[in-house]
Amino acid sequence: MTGIWQDTPDGLVPLPTQPFLLEENLHDSIERAPAMLPLRGQPRLVMLGREVLLGNGYADLVAMDADTGQPVVIEVKLAANSDRRSVFTQVLGYASHLFRLSPEAFEELIRPYLAKRGNSSIAEAVEAEIADGSVDLDAFRGRMTAALEEGRIRCVVVLDAASPDLIDLAGYLQAVTNERLDIDLVTVSAYEVQGAQVLVPQLIEPERSPLPPPVRPPSPSREARPVAGSALFTASIDSADPAHREHLRRLSTWAHELESEGLATLYTTVGKGRWVLNLRLPGQARGMITVWNDRGAFVCPQRTVVKAEAPKTLARLDERFPNEIRQNNNLTNPVDQEILDLLRDAYVEAAGRRHRPAG
């Protein structure tokens, strides 16, 4: 039984689940952290838009698999919704609308939603979200073009609870569709733990599928792959230009302090002559800041992520350092303790938003 169990004087007992009052509440959680979805292949999802007009309806969320270029349609339904069986018809209809769209047509369709997130193109959104140097944008555009032409779409149905008939239906669709169409069924349960809402997502793998699950094409290789931890970045400092070593060590120490406080999770990407330390938000595949050892020491903010996760601190940064917190551009002001403290405040604010009380 999946759930959260509490140790009590009477033994371990399961905590009761808490209902989602509105579908929008679950939309908000997935939109902020699509990495919470435990999908096969562990795709790196980049959110493109919400309530996106696709054909005759509006898809709850549309994302992009940064590694395969595959569009991802996410539809959310709660048990209180009387037409939950129609959710599969909805996502298949949205997938059919995307089938064989040209990249230009897809860009045009998604552009108004990208603009709300401060991005001018899908590639820019991917670059902003996966800011660890591991995505070759030219290769990504080629994969996206191929995915649209071949109809390789991923449909994700998210429920708060899945009845046996819905699980059977998902299993049947998985069995009869080919490798071009992925259909995932995920349930998300909510619990209240010490006044905070805790979400537990689970991928539902139907046991009664008459055929094996469809085989996904192998993920394309990346020029650089993020590695958990900071050891590679730290080791690279000794080989850097002596003029930059002290600054790199200072930035590395600052990043480690954030990690030790539970405010960030460190990942390192190694490229050709460069090392990128990505300060990811815990539980997410994106971060607000990256630190670069690339023939110098650089700090690179991601404005769209800071705006989404720490808007109050962003306002303070903009007031103190006008035009400095931009999208995927290195800081131009000296990276002194004042700006590092403000950037730390952004991670503190983001942590506070994650742990805000349920309600």
Would the pLDDT of 216 be above 60?
Answer: no
Output the 3-class SS for 282-332: CCCCCEEEEEEECCCEEEEEEHHHHHHHCHHHHHHHHHHCCCCCCECCCCC
Whole-number percent of the chain with pLDDT over 70: 91
**pLDDT digit string (tens) for 259-315?**
999 999 999 998 878 899 999 999 888 899 999 999 899 999 988 889 989 999 999
Band (pLDDT 50/70/90 cuts) for residue 125 is very high
pLDDT at residue 170, rounded to an integer: 85
Query: Cβ distance 179 to 216 under 8 Å?
Result: yes
Closest to 251 measured CA to CA, from 240, 318, 129: 240
Would the pLDDT of 210 be above 90?
Answer: no
Band (pLDDT 50/70/90 cuts) for residue 333 is confident
Q: How far apart are CA 100 and CA 111, in angstroms?
A: 18
Band (pLDDT 50/70/90 cuts) for residue 2 is low
Average pLDDT of the chain to the nearest whole number: 87
Would the pLDDT of 202 be above 80?
Answer: yes
pLDDT at residue 358, rounded to an integer: 46
Closest to 93 measured CA to CA, from 48, 64, 56, 144: 56
Band (pLDDT 50/70/90 cuts) for residue 75 is very high
Burial 2-38 (b: 16+ CB within 10 A, else e): eeeeeeeeeeeeeeebbebeebebbbebbbbbbbbbe
SS3 147: helix
Band (pLDDT 50/70/90 cuts) for residue 28 is very high
pLDDT at residue 21, rounded to an integer: 82
How many Cβ atoms sit within 10 Å of the Cβ of residue 48? 24
Band (pLDDT 50/70/90 cuts) for residue 135 is confident
Q: What's the N-to-C CA distance of the chain in angstroms?
A: 25
Domain regions of the chain by residue span: 8-204, 227-354
Whole-number percent of the chain with pLDDT over 90: 54
pLDDT at residue 357, rounded to an integer: 54
Closest to 187 measured CA to CA, from 26, 326, 56: 26
CA 87 from chain center: how many Å? 23
With a CB cutoff of 8 Å and minimum separation 6, the contacts of 86 are none
